[in-house]
Chain A
Amino acid sequence: MSLRRPVLQNQEVKHLPISGAVVVPVPGREEEVERSLRSLPGVEVKGRGAKGIAVVMEGRTTKELKKLSERIENWEDVVDFQLVYLNVEDEVE
């Protein structure tokens, strides 16, 4: 056991994190946003509800998921992107 301050180690990423999210489109632009989401690799559209579009996303790392989220959030037709579920078990093992 090292008694010096531990050197932070990068963890090997072996598998794919999975997240669930709600994408909130600009009113009147729901169709377009849904169509755009369906065209994104790693994104599955699960349906549309009163509060937004439910999606499931997969990426190689949580960082990749984060980038994908930011990309969607920055679309002009998107008001908000809300992450509601994240499974990272491969990264913590």
Chain B
Amino acid sequence: MEISMSRREFIKTSAATAAMLAAGMSAPAMAAQGDGGITFGRAQCRFCGTGCTVLVGVRDGKVVAVKGDANSPINFGRLCMKGYSLPHIMYGGGGKERLTRPLVRQEDGTYKEVSWEEALDLIADTFVRYIEEYGPDSVAWYGSGQNTTQEAYAANKLFKGIIGTANVEGNPRLCMASAVGGYLNTFGADEPAGSYDDIDSADTIFIIGSNMAEQHPMLFRRVIDRKSAYPDRVRVIVADPRTTPTARYADLHLKFKPGTDMYLLNAMAYVIIEEDMVDYEHLKYCTFRVGLGPKGEEMDLDAFREFLQDYAPEKVEDITGVDAEDIRLAARWFGRRGYTALSMWTMGLNQRTQGVELNCQVHNLHLLTGKIGKPGCDSLSLTGQPNACGGTREQGGLTHILPGHRALVNPQHRREVAEVWGVPFEQMPTKPTGPAVDMFMRLEKGDIKAIWINTTNPAQSLPNCDRYAEAMKKAFTVVSDIYWNRTTEVATVVLPSAMWVEKEGVMGQTDRRSQFIEKLVEPPEDARPDFWQINEVARRISEKLGRKVRYAIRDRKEPLKILDTIEVYGLGFYDDPRVKRGEMTPEEAAWNEYRVLTRGRDVDLYGATYEKLKAHAGGVQWPCPSTEFENRGSNKRYISRDYAIRVFGRDKKRYATGYVTLYDQHMEELGYPGPINYYGEHKLKNTKDKAVIRALTPTLDYEMPDESYPFVLNTGRVIEHWHTGTMTMRVRLLRELNPAAYVEIHPSDARKLGVKSGEKIKLISPRGSIVLPAWVTERAQPGMVFVPWFDENRLINDLTIDVPESWSKAAEPDYKVCKIKVARA
């Protein structure tokens, strides 16, 4: 279709308006409904865990434009190149590549188009047959940090509430599990205290195991803004074995040898104590323990100092490959008195054998220096997916957890959830089954007969992926997705899903934030929202099993108020009379029920009404207990005593812990005393209201190089592509910019092998091999190569490690350190 001049002028005016506003100029007001026929609606970006707020332009039922929302407190109107590609991801191959009809694999391996009724009946019949024959643990759900919270919640209710299995896992296990373990071991509760706002007042910014400039570019833009505004005051430290663009920007790059960062972090703690940068006042609110877990022996600062003697920078510089003076400088910048410090990290720490320990070590630095709970100070784990926090960590989308940061093994927690779900307490599973990779191992063994994989591509993303693709092919595997990919091609049933703004939902990001995604266009042909799919299967399964749900019809603003109850087969959301009358969506019904399960918990989203989520760019940050329209929660989960006095003008005995939550502050102002804690509850003795500094003896990753396999393989993402490339490889610009996987190899290694950029080299691990073109670059380091995993035609995860000994204490696989040999191809 040709763009007419008037229309073209309209688009240019829109572009000019956005640019002028972002440049700090006044610009002519643009109506939300433009005369160019484009209507803008609000959503959250579909890609990473930053959660940039975007305005999505729709014309003639199609997404045609996108711009950053200038009102967003996250991205302030900016977007990255992936964000600007959002319209393209919906219409891959000119729209012809979307999955649009349910498919069932036939005996000859071809797929037959079937009706939704046939597909859903087949799924329900098969699942019920296995449940009745082999028990509830013979079926499983494998979801995603890209599911909306309502989808994840519906699946959780179906599998744990109706079927009664804890076989609920998802790809966040491969992504954020170690971070959860770190927060739990240190603070007794998951998720960070601070928020993105801390970047804007941070003096030292410590980035470890994260290529923010490429993978969280809008957050890194805030780092650049802060550094540019105060170039002499702000110091950026990057610890990374690769010289990434993030590292190149840093004032100090600690290019440590792969696998040795536990030594590096202990050395920084050593310097902080040795050079007297400890905040002794703050240590009153901390306790020291040996090792991880609930049985750690108690120690004091002197014992901790003694423990660190082996990790003086001069003693670890050979191990880490980092000059002792650089380690000292990093620690001095981190600990300097009168300055703030913020740490950020992602997969470089999480996807590691020692993932939980590394997270705790970063927390240690903040606790020792008291640089936490104050503006500009936080230990902030960045998430990789747009709803890993909301849909999985908060909603309880893994085998061992339940909604509202509850534990499956806790009978009281199970009882609370069963009550809200309207299912018998006895129907709930009592014990976790196993984490993600273990789930696929049980699929391979045949213990799990049927699995539903939703919005994720494990045949490409699991470690040693070919092994599990085979297992998926043999089992009854249902895959819901938008495009054909490595996992759909091993599916028994493929369900075509609606994506992003073709459906509505809520997503929750890194800094305890939940945002609303508005439905703006219809999905193509017969594609349907995953939420609908889950509800339809749930209705069929519950009816076949004869298990009704007592669904509570709740007040929309104050869902604690139950207006009526009905007995239904299924999850109940589509049976709500207001949904049937078209007065509210079933997704809102699910969200309101979920809000009740967060009430009174640390992750309190009770106040996050649909009305608020729709109205506010950037959504709501928990804790948000109040339904008052203007209350959008808090950018600080916990604030320091000094800050509380300064802001609220008072100090009370109950603040003796040194910390008060804004949650409690709000509750107190509302006349509700509420408990006042420092973070969560530990199982350790003498830790009430305290955070735990862990003395952790460094270990190396499970698979370090040896004589047979002398190189380290590191894997990760690239700026142009996201995860397995299912979406971004369908965007021409991104595909042309980065069309295929390659190997980053250091010039010194390339010389030894006699290879130049573009020539092929072979990588061989104990599990598999691959041939890829070389990119000779100093981004790598001698003895370490890097390969991205977006390329479905070159599966680097055929080489990565899947054995349980390589998992972190939170069962997250190690994708960062895997031994290989390298040869000319």
Contact = CB atoms under 8 A, between A and B. Distances in A.
B15 A18 contact: yes
Contacts of B8: 18
Given A58-B12, A85-B18, A88-B65, 7 more contacts: A6-B483, A9-B96, A19-B15, A44-B16, A54-B19, A56-B16, A83-B79
B24 A11 contact: no
B729 A5 contact: no
A62 B88 CA distance: 11
A55 B19 contact: yes
B64 A21 contact: no
A85 B654 CA distance: 50
Interface in A66-93: 66, 79-80, 82-93
A51 B22 contact: yes
Interface string A30-71: 000000000000001011111111111010011100100000
11 contacts: A1-B113, A3-B111, A46-B19, A52-B24, A54-B22, A54-B23, A54-B25, A85-B14, A85-B19, A86-B66, A92-B91
Closest 9 CB pairs of A and B: A20-B15, A89-B64, A49-B24, A20-B19, A50-B24, A49-B25, A49-B23, A54-B19, A85-B18
Contacts of A48: 23, 25
A16 B4 CA distance: 12
Contact of A51 (B14, B23, B97, B484): B23
A63 B736 CA distance: 9
B13 to A, nearest CB: 9
Contacts of B78: 82-84
A88 B19 contact: no
B224 A6 contact: no
B77 interface: yes
A58 to B, nearest CB: 8
Interface string B45-71: 000000000000101001111111000
Interface residues of A, number: 46
Interface of B: 1-3, 8, 11-12, 14-25, 57, 59, 62-68, 77-79, 81, 84, 87-88, 90-97, 101, 103, 110-111, 113, 221, 224, 228, 483-485, 489, 729-730, 732-733, 735-737, 792
Contacts of A52: 22-24
Contacts of B95: 92
Contacts of B3: 15-16, 89-90
A20 B729 contact: no
Contacts of A8: 92-93, 97, 729-730, 735
A89 B209 CA distance: 37
Given A3-B111, A83-B84, A88-B65, A15 B2 contact: yes
A79 B221 CA distance: 12
Nearest to A90: B3
A79 B737 CA distance: 23
A6 B97 contact: yes
B84 to A, nearest CB: 4
Contact of A5 (B64, B94, B489): B489
Nearest to A82: B78
A44 B24 CA distance: 17
Contacts of A20: 14-19, 22, 67
A87 B77 CA distance: 15
A40 to B, nearest CB: 15
A22 B23 contact: yes
Contact of A3 (B77, B103, B729): B103
Contacts of A84: 18-19, 21-22, 67-68, 77-79
Contact of A91 (B88, B101, B113, B730): B88
Contacts of B22: 20, 22, 51-52, 54, 82, 84
Contacts of B23: 22, 47-54
Nearest to A65: B733
Contact of B64 (A16, A58, A66, A88): A88
Contact of A47 (B25, B62, B228, B737): B25
A54 B20 contact: yes
A16 B77 CA distance: 23
A92 B87 contact: yes
A14 to B, nearest CB: 8
Contacts of B59: 89
Contacts of A46: 16, 19-20, 25
A87 B88 contact: no
A48 B11 CA distance: 20
A64 B484 CA distance: 29
B390 to A, nearest CB: 27
Contacts of B62: 89, 92-93
Given A46-B19, A54-B25, A84-B18, A5 B484 contact: yes
Contacts of A66: 81, 733, 737
A47 B27 CA distance: 10
A87 to B, nearest CB: 4
A18 B25 contact: no
Contact of A56 (B19, B88, B228, B485): B19
